Structure 1
Amino acid sequence: MHNDPHSHGLWEKTAPAAPPTQCLEGHLRTDVVVVGAGFTGLSAALHLAEAGISVAVLEAAQIGFGGSGRNVGLVNAGLWIMPDEVPAILGEEHGERLLQVLSAAPGVVFDLIRKHGIACEAEHAGTLHCAADRKGLKELEDRARQWQARGAPVRLLGREETGARVGTEAYLASLFDDRAGTIQPLAYVRGLACAAIQAGAKIFTASPVTGAEREGDAWRVRTPGGSVRTDWVIVATNAYTSGPWPQVRAELVQLPYFNFATAPLPERVLERILPGREGMWDTKEVLSSLRRDRQGRLVFGSVGALRGTGAAVHGAWAKRSLRKLFPFLDWIDFEDAWYGMIGMTTDAVPRFHRFDRNIIGFSGYNGRGIAPGTVFGRYLAHLVAGKVGEADLPLPVSDPREQSFRTLREAYYEAGAQIVHFAGARI
């Protein structure tokens, strides 16, 4: 995308083509405008169109250009933080409701994939959260206990079973989550776009929103090439926000995350590394993630940006780390590398905002965009359609609040990841 191999890497090479789209030219009238063609925006558009509500999606770049087309593809349940922390932050009613919604969210994703025949290498095989040390093991024990108290199908695996499932003796234990799995994320978001178009939605790419103003009882949403008069506006831009709602970007700290992909590996190697095709990540503060794609590549990622000195530092670290985990991969090399930005809130909990009358949106996925984005998009569609009210949403209405020292913190995280990876996995 945009002739940058570091934007979408392997996913751009292996995803089915995006549906044909064009930029907005002229003036339209629709019931709803969705700003942003990622998981949230396209899920909202799909469910609106299926309900017979006219909808136009306005995307500044291309379908899946932001985090939706760049992430590692882990379809996880819940949030990064512990389950018990969620009611403590949101209150008992919203907290437990959000946990219930996000516990079921991976199932919503895989159901949509089946329903619409989306070719996105879906593997509903679960995930493994791996304990890198004793502190990580305690974290997983607590997480398992808290989810099991809510009836979730998670279980703690010992060192031996973890080693057999991952292919390394590096981890003390792992938390297996049967709700979760992996997908090819760019293929999934393009599949959502195809399904939305088939249902009647209109999608316009290369059409950045430059303004939105009231026009009687409606809104006029403008792009460089035209405008749309609409009753509702859904803002679904998250970490890649620009344009008339800068408060979304201001409340998020951007955390860079990269992925490297190997060439397809021999079957004798694949029999030893994630043979059950689970996705995995570890409990380190600067975490690592690992998964396989359908062609037998390893996709290995961590925090950091592949720009400036970061490309060399993170690439060297990734090779060292894989060889340390799997000594039989002493010949490993990478064919693709890419990175993107995660939008982090102050408490690692997403936000629901009402920006103005009939202008709404969710944001702040904190690295958990696939399942929450899909299900939150459906909630937005149901809210517009009158199927639910704001009181029924999994999050309360909140006002955007700019994070202090945001730019400085973003620079610190990017530089800090390089420092950690420069020294990491050398012994």
Structure 2
Amino acid sequence: MTTDPRSHGLWATTAPPAPDTSPLRGEARADVAVVGAGYTGLSAALHLAKAGARVTVLEGEAVGFGGSGRNVGLVNAGLWVKPDLVPAALGAERGERLLALLGAAPRLVFDLVAEHAIACEAETAGTLHCAVGRKGLADLADRARQWQARGAPVRLLDAAEAARLTGTAAYTGALLDARAGTIQPLAYARGLGHAALAAGASIHTGSPVVGVAEDGARWRLTTPGGSVSADWVIVATNAYTKAPWPEIRAEIAHLPYFNIATAPLSGNLRGTILPGRQGAWDTKPVLTSFRLDAAGRLVLGSVGALRGTGAAIHRAWARRTLKSLFPQAADVPFEAEWYGKIGMTADALPRFHRFARNVVAFSGYNGRGIAPGTAFGRVLADLVAGRITEADLPLPVTEPVPLGFRAAREFTYEVGAQAVHLAEARFPGPTRPHTPAD
């Protein structure tokens, strides 16, 4: 794992040790080669190895290095887009299949945590999507209606209930989703790695795939130190994709997201902020997220990169936000900061690709990686093992389509977030200027 403190921040200092891995040396043979040791790749490897397959995971950096080790740690159900938009985009059958899969995905995460005794600070008290103003409350009421029509255990809270559960009177209401919760995200990724190894998988870190070619009826993946021959290849690299599948990177824009954590709150303060231990975020276009870790640190997050001019701007935003939402904790010092990349697709929906015979991938998680990544990893395992066919998948097989004006989008995301956070400092109020970061 990198020694840069802004890479994984608090999660790197509080996670249990990573599994014992080493770079690939020489030639190896497997039934399935998995590229990427994040949630999707490790879930696929775990489920395949438990079924008896020979699995080799190739990771260019370390277990959980990408978005899996840097995110907020909200184990959410569903997608960013509202439920009714999913069947409208994918068709009724696949759309409802995807919603059912991702609605149950947090349960899969927490079941794996329990089954494999993963020490990742799992909290199953739900999440709070907090409404800003009347528009935000109307949006959440619509989401609640759509999920409730599908039998989901979600409930719209009024302002008083939202204040009781968050500890702040800043919100006009909130959507409580009982399916969801929080984890220490890097600890969960490392736990999946330990579980996959225990099930019989091999994991090679420091082993970026630099080439892939057909080798008779099989595939040969080349790394700087060796190669793996496999019948199937699962590509699970998402926002951190490099060669040899540049088409994944071409279809997603990088949205930067940062987190800044306080020192552990005192016992008295801890009881006044998120007393039920839910994770939370709001309905603002450039959102604010907040949650507690097991030691009582308050982790604040938003869109932006902690580099260049953004570092000072976003630190100042975090201090103002802490004082605004939780004035009782206004003077608590910050002790960690970090940021990473979210892979955004054009329509905020994930993708399934078949790059060649027996070479498959899910990508484009749009900020919802923990539960979907875990669930999609199991789906890929089922596909490779022949338990399902492509007709049974929750997404259609599509060709990667390069995202138009990708560089401009990424520039706008990063600079736009700085502009919004600066504007809030000069013109504080209940609303924020709109940016593409929604």
Specify if TM > 0.5: yes
* CA deviation after TM superposition for structure 1 residue 133, in Å: 1.2
The 8 Å contact of residues 121 and 183 in structure 1, kept in 2 or not, is answered as: yes
The yes-or-no answer on 1:207 pairing with 2:207 is: yes
Task: State the secondary structure of the residue aligned to 2:164.
Answer: helix
* CA deviation after TM superposition for structure 1 residue 424, in Å: 1.6
The 8 Å contact of residues 45 and 57 in structure 1, kept in 2 or not, is answered as: yes
1:324 matched residue in structure 2:
324
TM-align CA RMSD: 0.7
The yes-or-no answer on 1:297 pairing with 2:297 is: yes
Task: State the secondary structure of the residue aligned to 1:323.
Answer: helix
In the aligned structure 2, how far is the partner of 1:6 from the partner of 1:65?
12
In the aligned structure 2, how far is the partner of 1:330 from the partner of 1:242?
41
1:403 matched residue in structure 2:
403
Letter paired with 2:361? G
The yes-or-no answer on 1:128 pairing with 2:128 is: yes
In the aligned structure 1, how far is the partner of 2:417 from the partner of 2:332?
22
The 8 Å contact of residues 261 and 297 in structure 1, kept in 2 or not, is answered as: yes
Q: Which structure 2 residues correspond to residues 224-239 of structure 1 after superposition, within 5 A? A: 224-239=224-239
1:148 matched residue in structure 2:
148
Letter paired with 1:324? S
2:101 matched residue in structure 1:
101
Letter paired with 2:7? S
2:6 matched residue in structure 1:
6
Letter paired with 1:19? P
The 8 Å contact of residues 323 and 332 in structure 1, kept in 2 or not, is answered as: no
* CA deviation after TM superposition for structure 1 residue 309, in Å: 1.0
In the aligned structure 2, how far is the partner of 1:295 from the partner of 1:21?
29
* CA deviation after TM superposition for structure 1 residue 262, in Å: 0.4
The 8 Å contact of residues 265 and 332 in structure 2, kept in 1 or not, is answered as: no
1:372 matched residue in structure 2:
372
In the aligned structure 2, how far is the partner of 1:218 from the partner of 1:107?
35
Task: State the secondary structure of the residue aligned to 1:290.
Answer: strand
Task: State the secondary structure of the residue aligned to 1:424.
Answer: helix
Deviations 1:177-221 (A, max 9, x none): 000000000000000000000000000000000010001100110
The yes-or-no answer on 1:247 pairing with 2:247 is: yes
* CA deviation after TM superposition for structure 1 residue 134, in Å: 1.1
Give ranges in structure 1 of 5+ residues lacking alignment. Answer: none
* CA deviation after TM superposition for structure 1 residue 425, in Å: 4.8
The 8 Å contact of residues 319 and 332 in structure 1, kept in 2 or not, is answered as: no
1:348 matched residue in structure 2:
348
The yes-or-no answer on 1:387 pairing with 2:391 is: no
Task: State the secondary structure of the residue aligned to 2:259.
Answer: strand
Task: State the secondary structure of the residue aligned to 2:214.
Answer: strand
Task: State the secondary structure of the residue aligned to 2:72.
Answer: coil
The 8 Å contact of residues 321 and 425 in structure 1, kept in 2 or not, is answered as: no
In the aligned structure 2, how far is the partner of 1:416 from the partner of 1:100?
35
* CA deviation after TM superposition for structure 1 residue 423, in Å: 2.1
In the aligned structure 2, how far is the partner of 1:314 from the partner of 1:71?
17
1:57 matched residue in structure 2:
57
In the aligned structure 2, how far is the partner of 1:372 from the partner of 1:72?
15
Letter paired with 2:103? S
* CA deviation after TM superposition for structure 1 residue 422, in Å: 1.4
In the aligned structure 2, how far is the partner of 1:327 from the partner of 1:56?
50
In the aligned structure 2, how far is the partner of 1:207 from the partner of 1:124?
35
* CA deviation after TM superposition for structure 1 residue 2, in Å: 1.7
* CA deviation after TM superposition for structure 1 residue 17, in Å: 0.4
Structure 1 stretches of 4+ moved >6 Å: none
Letter paired with 1:48? L
In the aligned structure 2, how far is the partner of 1:309 from the partner of 1:264?
28
1:158 matched residue in structure 2:
158
Letter paired with 2:288? S
1:270 matched residue in structure 2:
270
* CA deviation after TM superposition for structure 1 residue 408, in Å: 1.3
1:419 matched residue in structure 2:
419
How many residue pairs align between the two structures?
Answer: 427
The 8 Å contact of residues 165 and 275 in structure 2, kept in 1 or not, is answered as: yes
